[in-house]
Structure 1
Amino acid sequence: MSRAYESDLPTTYNRPPADRTKVAPGEIAVGVVVGRTSEYFDFFVYGIASVLVFPSVFFPFASQLEGLLYAFTIFSFAFIARPFGTALFMMIQRRWDRSVKLTASLFLLGTATAGIAFLPGYETLGGFSILLLALFRILQGIALGGSWDGLPSLLALNAPRERRSWYAMLGQLGAPIGFLVASALFLFLFTSLSNADFQGWGWRYPFFVAFAINVVALFARLRLVVTHEYTAALEERELEPLGTREMLRKQGYNIFIGSFAALASYALFHMVTIFPLSWIYLGDTQAIGNVLAVQIVGAIIGMGGTVFSGWIADRIGKRTTVATLAVLIGVFSLFTPMLMNGSALQQDLFILIGFALLGVSYGQASGTVTANFERRFRYTGAALTSDFAWLFGAAFAPLVALGLSANFGLAYVSVYLLSGVICTLLALRINKRLEND
């Protein structure tokens, strides 16, 4: 998934060497958007299947709620594995090169995704099917950790100073695009097939599509990454991998500040995508096809919000944008119990308003403090900051939100989102003080 961007870099960082033709930001942006969209599509296919399919296919012995919670537990495994994947593939890149690392990571991602598509259910393999599902999910996380290609950092460094936030949002645009495609595909299959066919074989097609998209994305990104021009550009910007131990020892505080600065946005991420689908599915308060259709509209709104974030952040600043949206997310969280416990229209409003806030906040959430990294730490630091932001903010969001709301009430979802808001505002405050010292 999307990595951290450098935002408020010194002017000298944006100046290409005199003996090299400047890399066009628009060309880099194509690789960034294609790569991030494919990654998000993979994760959203798995997330939607965790609600609509996995409880009945892999956990038929459990109640509906327990099946969802088990599926969300395995859902979190990929986020836990991502930092380890980053460390492993950084080592592979140091030993061989960037193209070997990218090819190996995306091959692993495609293999794990296709493995899920072919995986028999509990009725065929018993508990072994659950173990294999968990293994494939872990492999997905390791592969996603290794898919960092440095293009978002290169894009930020080559973007015009006055339009950095605009270019920074392009990688984030992959999230709503990936969700839109995944939701549309599941909506088509869910409404076109009988429930028996969908649960039996129909749900496997999105995983096949994910494999095909990964192949296309691999060639699109390799076309950029392996060229002499881009290799030289990455090296001249000192965008090279470092050992994660050294990174954590010398710049660990920046990684954690950056991770928590994005927490409000990342906490909201699965609260408007996966959680509403699971809550409505559990309560059977409206047709799932309608929910998927509303979420497609929400994804379009989220795309508009992401684009708008680039425009507004270039005018008022990235940090101000992120802080303002964190406050608005906090206000929005207070209405969660009323909306999600209300009518179908109120539930739809929760999704649509949530996507609007998510688009603007997520569009600028990455890279709020990445400019604090020393140049030689920037490549690995951007990768690990994103890994930990997803781990702290989004990995357990569906599990925690559904578990708490089902057992204690939706007010706990408000508390969960508010905790993310507080973490974001505190991290931004600490970062500002560190810059002033």
Structure 2
Amino acid sequence: MSTSPSSPAVTSPAEAADTSSRSRIVFASFIGTAIEFYDFYVYATAAALVIGPVFFPHGSATAQALSAFVTFGIAFIARPIGSFLFGHFGDRIGRKSTLVASLLVMGVSTTLIGFVPGYDAIGSLAPVLLCILRFGQGIGLGGEWGGAALLATENAPAGRRAWFGMFPQLGPSVGFLAANGLFFGLALALTDEQFRSWGWRVPFIASAVLVALGLYVRMKIAETPAFRAAIERRERVRVPLVSLIARHAKPTLAGAFAMVVCYTLFYISTVFTLSYGVSTLHFTRQSFLGLLCFAVLFMALATPLSAWASDRFGRRPVLIAGIVAAIASGFAMAPLVGSGSTPLVALFLTIELFLMGVTFAPMGALLPELFPTPVRYTGAGVSYNLGGILGASVAPYIAQMLAARGGLAWVGGYVSVAAAVSLIAVLSIRETRDVQLS
């Protein structure tokens, strides 16, 4: 039976948390992912605009872009490692302390990137240091999402798990808007020379302030009821990853492939199109960043709508509808983006990011629901971050190559194929709306 957040506890450990406690928990899950994804997207934006010429100055503009996108992909390789590492401790010692550690790793790595000298100053050591810190970003983010999703869903009242799981899913929209908004402001305020010399470093260094805020909020929250119950029942496993591989390999892979559509939609429509729009369509940096800031508002709008629908109708129907639309959207890329028309490019970005919100929101509940409590942190995090390798790490690189060889129609076809892979995965997953997490 569904209850409102203010209803008294009657059925499950999750409903034992009062309204004020849930509000703090929801805010902690949201603010952490917003900060972590701000850090991550700051690099994505910089990779599209400035990382190539600053750290890989030799070669053509295309070669610089490809090199920058390789460093972009390094973090996605690191993210599953982070999910293994932090997932182990999240399932062994608790969600709260693990989330604090992941945020700290991410924040330190991001801030230090802002201080790495360019190639002209220290030569080949510059890209080496950049890659090490980018790897650190991936480790931190790999431990973030699974814990934030569990923090929200394991405290959710009955019948509203997707709604609560939506708040960490809002973090990427806000983080992206903050990152791109700051780059947009810098593009307006600085000359190209100033931006390339020092301006691009400002968003990285500013991360230190945001991380301090996130750490303060997370230190104030309590452990989740589901994990406390698992401790009382002595259900914790010695090595969660081993148990996950031995007993839960199928849902792990299904969850990973289901995530591919989310990553592909987002990183093709932001990182690749930003690079393509500035270098090939000759948009100014500030104008294209402005289009992305506008379009991401529709991603933020779609997130609560999709979460509400997945609580009402189930996770699978909402995901299937969104993925089918994503398959169709790939065919719109060449005519809309290739036109070079500002309204048509904005329309394409809006469609893709809206569909990203539709397909992303239910994952906050779906992935935790695929796994039992003793391996839930590890399982949800590994699925989420393996999906990142499959759907995001190589997406801008592949798109850059496809655009060079076959044009935007090939890139659109890549989007459609990636969405079709996720459709097959979702069809293989059972409906999880009524699964008990305790």
TM-score by length of 1: 0.88
Aligned to 1:382: 380
Give the letter aligned to residue 185 of structure 1: L
For 1:367 and 1:400, the matched residues in 2 are separated by: 30
For 1:375 and 1:190, the matched residues in 2 are separated by: 46
Q: What CA RMSD, in Å, does the superposition of the two structures yield over aligned residues?
A: 2.6
Give the letter aligned to residue 102 of structure 2: S
Q: Which residue, out of 264, 272, 283, partners 2:269?
A: 272
Q: What does residue range 16-415 of structure 1 map to in structure 2 within 5 Å?
A: 16-17=12-13, 24-91=21-88, 101-147=98-144, 150-224=147-221, 227=222, 230=223, 234-236=227-229, 242-345=239-342, 346-368=344-366, 370-415=368-413
Q: Deviations over 1:126-177 (max 9, x none)?
A: 1111111111101111122233573422422332333222222211111111
Figure out how many residues of one structure are paired with residues of the other and give that number: 418
For 1:101 and 1:157, the matched residues in 2 are separated by: 15
For 1:385 and 1:18, the matched residues in 2 are separated by: 24
Distance 1:99 1:17, change over 3 A: closer
For 1:275 and 1:309, the matched residues in 2 are separated by: 26
Give the letter aligned to residue 193 of structure 1: L
For 2:173 and 2:236, the matched residues in 1 are separated by: 29
CA contact (8 A) 1:323 1:424 kept: no
Give the letter aligned to residue 218 of structure 2: R
Distance 1:240 1:123, change over 3 A: farther
For 2:227 and 2:14, the matched residues in 1 are separated by: 15
Q: Deviations over 1:38-79 (max 9, x none)?
A: 011011100000011111101111211111111111101111
Q: Deviations over 1:220-240 (max 9, x none)?
A: 11211xx4xx26553215696
For 1:217 and 1:80, the matched residues in 2 are separated by: 25
Distance 1:57 1:371, change over 3 A: same
For 1:30 and 1:409, the matched residues in 2 are separated by: 43
Q: Deviations over 1:215-272 (max 9, x none)?
A: 2111211211xx4xx2655321569684313312221211110111222222111122
The alpha carbon displacement at 1:338 in A equals: 1.0
Q: Deviations over 1:388-434 (max 9, x none)?
A: 12121112111111121122211221221122222112112222499
Aligned to 1:425: 423
For 1:205 and 1:18, the matched residues in 2 are separated by: 41
Give the letter aligned to residue 150 of structure 2: S
Q: Deviations over 1:10-53 (max 9, x none)?
A: xxxx9434996557433321111101100110111000000111
Segment of structure 1 superposing worse, 182-191 or 394-403? 394-403
Segment of structure 1 superposing worse, 414-423 or 365-374? 365-374
For 1:21 and 1:97, the matched residues in 2 are separated by: 17
Segment of structure 1 superposing worse, 66-75 or 161-170? 161-170
For 2:348 and 2:38, the matched residues in 1 are separated by: 22
Distance 1:299 1:108, change over 3 A: same
For 2:224 and 2:165, the matched residues in 1 are separated by: 21
The alpha carbon displacement at 1:124 in A equals: 0.9
CA contact (8 A) 1:180 1:296 kept: yes
For 1:434 and 1:299, the matched residues in 2 are separated by: 28
Query: Secondary structure in 2 aligned to 1:162?
Result: coil
CA contact (8 A) 1:265 1:365 kept: no
Distance 1:318 1:108, change over 3 A: same
Structure 1 stretches lacking a partner, 5+ long:
1-13
TM-score by length of 2: 0.88
For 1:158 and 1:434, the matched residues in 2 are separated by: 17
Distance 1:52 1:169, change over 3 A: same
Matched-pair identity in %: 31
